């Protein structure tokens, strides 16, 4: 990312050409320390080579490698780069905002957002002001009335949205059966319903 050249390994190139270390390079571009700086081809070649040496007994780890292995087994881990640590902090804050208590009106708002924007439950719950998907499902499990409303909401959505959520209405199966009885192909049915022909084939197996 410094010069745009395609290389099989970066460690020596970074030191000799750019005068920087792989630690500084990772920190600059937010790469985790677990991210290797060699190509997958070279990585596989080295892995196979070391595996062969381990199998024939010619591989003897250096003292510093032994110390590193011992530290890892003892539970020590290298810290993530600042970029990764910051991202984890953002995710934690987002989850904490989702863990606030919600009332029945908040759950009803989720259904309103789904209908208004014609989106799935998961998409609606991406709004930080609404309950998380898991909380909505838990609420529906303990409230039969809301569970029925949630199903009715899904059934009122367009078929492509129902397909994304994997929640098809009884009307969908009626239309599917009707088109199938007319002798239409899976592609023709998919085009009329606005979904993929693969989905049509899977759902047809359930009703035939």
Higher per-residue confidence, 62 vs 172: 172
Confidence of residue 80 (pLDDT cuts 50, 70, 90): low
Q: Distance between CA atoms of 84 and 32, rounded to whole angstroms?
A: 7
Q: What is the pLDDT of residues 103-145, one digit of tens each?
A: 899 999 999 999 999 999 999 988 888 888 888 998 998 899 9
Cβ–Cβ < 8 Å for 25, 14? yes
User: What share of the chain has pLDDT > 90, as a percent?
Assistant: 37
Cβ neighbour number for residue 182 with a 10 Å cutoff: 9
Whole-prediction pTM: 0.52
- The mean pLDDT value for 35-47 works out to 74
> What is the DSSP secondary structure assignment for residue 128, as one 8-state letter?
T
pLDDT reading at 196 higher than 90: yes
Res. 161 pLDDT band, cuts 50 70 90: very high
């Amino acid at each position: 990312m410094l010069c745009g050249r395609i290389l099989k390994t970066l460690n020596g190139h970074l030191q000799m050409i750019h005068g920087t270390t792989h630690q500084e390079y990772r920190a600059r571009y937010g790469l985790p320390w677990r991210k290797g700086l060699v190509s997958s081809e070279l990585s596989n070649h080295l892995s196979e080579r070391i595996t062969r040496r381990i199998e024939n007994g010619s591989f003897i780890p250096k003292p510093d490698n032994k110390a590193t292995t011992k530290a890892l087994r003892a539970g020590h881990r290298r810290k993530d780069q600042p970029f990764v640590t910051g991202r984890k902090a953002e995710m934690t804050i987002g989850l904490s905002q989702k863990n606030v208590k919600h009332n029945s009106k908040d759950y009803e708002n989720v259904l309103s957002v789904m209908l208004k924007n014609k989106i799935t439950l998961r998409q609606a719950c991406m709004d930080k002001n609404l309950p998380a998907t898991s909380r909505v499902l838990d609420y529906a499990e303990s409230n039969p009335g809301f569970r029925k409303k949630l199903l009715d909401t899904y059934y009122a959505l367009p078929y492509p949205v129902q397909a994304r959520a994997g929640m098809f209405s009884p009307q969908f199966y009626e239309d599917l059966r009707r088109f199938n009885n007319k002798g239409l192909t899976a592609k023709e049915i998919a085009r009329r319903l606005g979904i993929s022909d693969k989905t049509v084939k899977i759902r047809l197996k359930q009703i035939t």
